[in-house]
């Protein structure tokens, strides 16, 4: 069972992601939310047992690319998987996120199946 951190500047999108995580029947124990990379780092500081991060790319204050880089200063890829949520046509962003240390990505609009496929290797 994993504790999952969802980082997205849209509260509506965070709700959708939470619902899809439930529909995907993944072993999610608890879900924490943050609205940008800065809040994400703060959440991670308070809950070091977070086992997976799902992060948007386009966010104010600290975007997903910078956020991945910061997380990787303290948490290696093997210990804390990070999956990016991207929009279609965002291939350059995806490449950048992967080279900054993301483990994978899922493209919007996503379905329970695509979420399950993207996360199955990390949380079963
Ligand atoms: Mg956004």
Ligand 1 center–CA 13 separation, angstroms: 8
Yes or no: say if 4 and 52 are a contact pair by the CB < 8 Å rule: yes
pTM, full prediction? 0.95
Ligand 1 center–CA 107 separation, angstroms: 13
Q: What is the pLDDT of residue 120?
A: 87
Report the percent of the chain where pLDDT is more than 70.
99
In the predicted model, what is the mean pLDDT of residues 88-92?
83
Ligand 1 center–CA 8 separation, angstroms: 6
Ligand 1 center–CA 56 separation, angstroms: 6
Ligand 1 center–CA 45 separation, angstroms: 22
Domains of the chain and any CATH numbers: 2-123 (3.40.50.2300)
Ligand 1 center–CA 122 separation, angstroms: 23
Question: Can you tell me which residue has the tokens 């439930």?
Answer: 22
Q: What is the pLDDT of residue 124?
A: 65
pLDDT by residue (tens digit) across 65-88?
999 999 999 999 999 999 999 987
pLDDT by residue (tens digit) across 35-49?
999 999 999 999 999
The DSSP letter of residue 92 is: H
Yes or no: say if 86 and 93 are a contact pair by the CB < 8 Å rule: yes
The DSSP letter of residue 75 is: S
């Amino acid at each position: 069972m994993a504790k999952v951190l969802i980082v997205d500047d849209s509260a509506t999108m965070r709700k959708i992601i939470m619902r899809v995580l439930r529909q995907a029947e993944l072993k999610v124990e608890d879900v924490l939310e943050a609205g940008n990379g800065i809040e994400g780092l703060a959440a991670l500081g308070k809950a070091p047992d977070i086992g997976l991060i799902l992060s948007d790319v386009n966010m104010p204050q600290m975007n997903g690319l910078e956020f991945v880089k910061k997380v990787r200063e303290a948490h290696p890829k093997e210990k804390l998987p990070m999956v990016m949520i991207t929009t279609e046509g965002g291939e350059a962003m995806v490449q950048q996120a992967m080279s900054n240390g993301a483990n994978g990505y899922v493209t919007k609009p996503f379905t329970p199946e695509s979420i399950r496929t993207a996360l199955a290797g990390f949380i079963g």
